[in-house]
């Protein structure tokens, strides 16, 4: 089961349960069975699922639920906590610092997405002001250097490699030395992968590692291997000092839940996930925001990071101020739609927004989502300033709706749908009210608040 579907199934199970008039042992069990089924279909280990189920039963007190507390919220919180616990990868052995030279070596099996991920990792940091460089020490696979060169050229990242030299250790050392002299602060070494976990791969890895003394070794793994991820991660860890893991191909049909939970079980910290073939389809893996998105609860830290990336600096304080006042007007929605259209991979941004679950705006349907946003914006273009700035939901009466429909060439139903969407979002965004406006890099408190 694809992760977006998993999130959807869990959210549906919770919704069904909260629709029940009385929540008793039976209703709770049914809900937990539904969630467990979804997790098993995502290839999460049976034992982990069973433990999670019994933990939730232990934590959730049915008497509290009967007393009219927000049942859905209590159980959702328990599910959230348990999923976080299951996926908690711990901390990486080393975190590179901008401005200080770090050598990061990438290892993994052939086809795992290692070379692509090296460039994604470099590109991610370059966008944040680092000075990365790429070294191709993969002399095993014909075309590896060309591939790295192509990616590096596209993203304007300096690279080092050779068509003639067949000794990966020599190339790695020369590349690292060259870039150290150039004061590059993130020197990334791509090593060879092999089809099987043969001894030569591990020996070569060890040699490159000894010669270049990397500050961090990142193991790259394809998520489609599911639970087998445990053995693979373990094998690499035993051979070299793997300090962090990146799981690729979390998009598509991968049973990503299995890989993630299996890697977490080896206590290997997952630091990024690859979510597509493009350079931008690469995300920081942070367990809480990840689970939050999975359950359709939004990812405030990721979203705010995006806001800082795309909203012009002079407009940021104003936007954050408006959000913190909880006054989510149609104009604000319009402006956010404009921002979203600028933000790049639209599915990725949507899934971070509370209210837009990955299921509602699924990957692969970006065009439809984009068309929908544009349709909404056309209708809003026919609104008066008073309508756009109003916080009174009663203002939009039938005659106004009819006028907007006529003006924008859409049906009354379209306008009503857009307004319903606005109301739904306004309700969710009203939670922002009263929250301290965070500065860049200070997102965790906000994120905690929103997810609580």
| Contacting positions for ligand GDP (CB under 6 A) | 108, 110-116, 193, 248-249, 251-252, 274-277
* Nearer Cβ to ligand GDP (5/110): 110
Shortest spacing between CB 232 and ligand GDP, in angstroms:
13
Q: Is 141 helix (H, G, I), strand (E, B) or coil?
A: coil
Shortest spacing between CB 146 and ligand GDP, in angstroms:
11
Shortest spacing between CB 272 and ligand GDP, in angstroms:
10
Give 230's DSSP letter: H
Structure-block tokens of residue 411? 């049906």
Shortest spacing between CB 52 and ligand GDP, in angstroms:
27
* Number of residues in the chain: 452
Q: Which has the closest alpha carbon to 189: 300, 250, 312, 102? A: 102
CA-CA distance, 190 to 208, in Å (whole number)? 10
Q: Do β-strands 270-274 and 282-284 pair in parallel, antiparallel, or remain unpaired?
A: antiparallel
Q: Which has the closest alpha carbon to 233: 207, 254, 211, 258? A: 258
Kindly tell me the number of DSSP H helices and DSSP E strands found in the chain: 21, 8
Supply the DSSP string of 172-199, one letter for each residue.
HHHHHHHHHHTT-SEEEEEE---SS--H
- H helices of 312-434, in order, are 316-325, 330-342, 346-352, 366-381, 385-389, 398-408, 412-429
CA-CA distance, 356 to 425, in Å (whole number)? 9
Integer Rg of the chain from CA = 24
* Nearer Cβ to ligand GDP (204/414): 204
Shortest spacing between CB 277 and ligand GDP, in angstroms:
4
Shortest spacing between CB 206 and ligand GDP, in angstroms:
19
* Nearer Cβ to ligand GDP (175/193): 193
Shortest spacing between CB 273 and ligand GDP, in angstroms:
8
Shortest spacing between CB 307 and ligand GDP, in angstroms:
24
* Nearer Cβ to ligand GDP (187/323): 187
Shortest spacing between CB 194 and ligand GDP, in angstroms:
10
* Nearer Cβ to ligand GDP (49/271): 271
Give 209's DSSP letter: H
CA-CA distance, 101 to 228, in Å (whole number)? 35
* Nearer Cβ to ligand GDP (268/339): 268
Shortest spacing between CB 138 and ligand GDP, in angstroms:
7
* Nearer Cβ to ligand GDP (335/366): 366
* Nearer Cβ to ligand GDP (274/347): 274
Characterize 26-55 residue by residue with b for buried, 16 or more Cβ atoms within 10 angstroms of its Cβ, and e for exposed: ebbeebbebbbebbbbbbbbeebbeebbee
Shortest spacing between CB 112 and ligand GDP, in angstroms:
4
* Nearer Cβ to ligand GDP (214/274): 274
Residue nearest to ligand GDP (CB): 274
* Nearer Cβ to ligand GDP (114/306): 114
Q: Which has the closest alpha carbon to 227: 39, 72, 431? A: 39
User: Do 254 and 223 contact (CB within 8 A), yes or no?
Assistant: yes
Report the side by side order of strands in the sheet with 132-137.
159-160, 132-137, 186-191, 102-107, 216-222, 242-248, 270-274, 282-284
Shortest spacing between CB 246 and ligand GDP, in angstroms:
9
Residue 77 CA, chain-centre distance (Å), reads 20
Residue 117 CA, chain-centre distance (Å), reads 15
Residue 104: strand pairing partners: 188, 216
* Nearer Cβ to ligand GDP (138/305): 138
Residue 198 CA, chain-centre distance (Å), reads 33
* Nearer Cβ to ligand GDP (62/235): 235
Q: Which has the closest alpha carbon to 162: 186, 178, 181? A: 178
């Amino acid at each position: 089961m694809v992760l977006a579907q998993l999130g959807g199934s869990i959210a549906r199970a919770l919704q069904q349960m909260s629709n029940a008039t009385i929540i008793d042992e039976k209703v709770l069990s049914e809900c937990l069975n539904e969630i467990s089924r979804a997790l098993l279909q995502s290839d999460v280990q049976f034992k982990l699922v069973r433990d999670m189920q019994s933990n939730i039963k232990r934590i959730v007190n049915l008497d509290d639920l009967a007393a009219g507390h927000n049942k859905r919220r209590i159980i959702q919180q328990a599910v959230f906590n348990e999923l976080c616990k299951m996926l908690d990868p711990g901390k990486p052995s080393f975190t590179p610092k901008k401005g200080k030279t770090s050598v990061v070596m990438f290892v993994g099996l052939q086809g795992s997405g290692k070379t692509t991920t090296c460039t994604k990792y470099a590109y991610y940091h370059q966008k944040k002001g680092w000075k990365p460089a790429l070294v191709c020490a993969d002399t095993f696979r014909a075309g590896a250097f060309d591939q790295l060169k192509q990616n590096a050229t596209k993203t304007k990242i300096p690279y080092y490699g050779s068509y003639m030299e067949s000794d990966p250790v020599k190339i790695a050392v020369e590349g690292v030395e060259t870039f150290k002299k150039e004061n590059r602060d993130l020197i990334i070494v791509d090593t060879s992968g092999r089809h099987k976990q043969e001894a030569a791969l591990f020996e070569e890895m060890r040699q490159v590692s000894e010669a270049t003394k990397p500050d961090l070794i990142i193991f790259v793994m394809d998520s489609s291997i599911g639970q087998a991820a445990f053995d693979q991660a373990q094998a690499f860890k035993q051979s070299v000092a793997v300090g962090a893991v990146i799981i690729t191909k979390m998009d598509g049909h991968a049973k990503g839940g299995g890989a993630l939970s299996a890697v977490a079980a080896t206590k290997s910290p997952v630091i990024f996930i690859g979510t597509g073939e493009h350079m931008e389809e690469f995300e920081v893996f942070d367990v809480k925001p990840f689970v939050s998105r999975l359950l359709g609860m939004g990812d405030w830290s990721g979203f705010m990071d995006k806001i800082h990336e795309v909203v012009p600096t002079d407009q940021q304080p104003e936007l954050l101020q408006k959000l913190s006042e909880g006054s989510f007007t149609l104009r604000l929605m319009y402006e956010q739609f404009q921002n979203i259209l600028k933000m790049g991979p639209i599915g990725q941004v949507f899934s971070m927004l509370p209210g837009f679950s990955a299921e509602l705006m699924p990957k692969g349907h970006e065009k439809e989502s984009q068309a929908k946003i544009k349709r909404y914006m056309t209708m809003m273009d026919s609104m008066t300033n008073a309508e756009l700035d109003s916080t009174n939901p009663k203002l939009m009466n039938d005659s106004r709706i009819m006028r907007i429909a006529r003006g924008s060439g859409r049906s009354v139903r379209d306008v009503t749908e857009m307004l319903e969407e606005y109301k739904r979002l306004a309700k969710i965004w009203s939670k922002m009210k009263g929250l301290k406006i965070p500065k860049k890099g200070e997102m965790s408190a906000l994120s905690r608040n929103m997810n609580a």
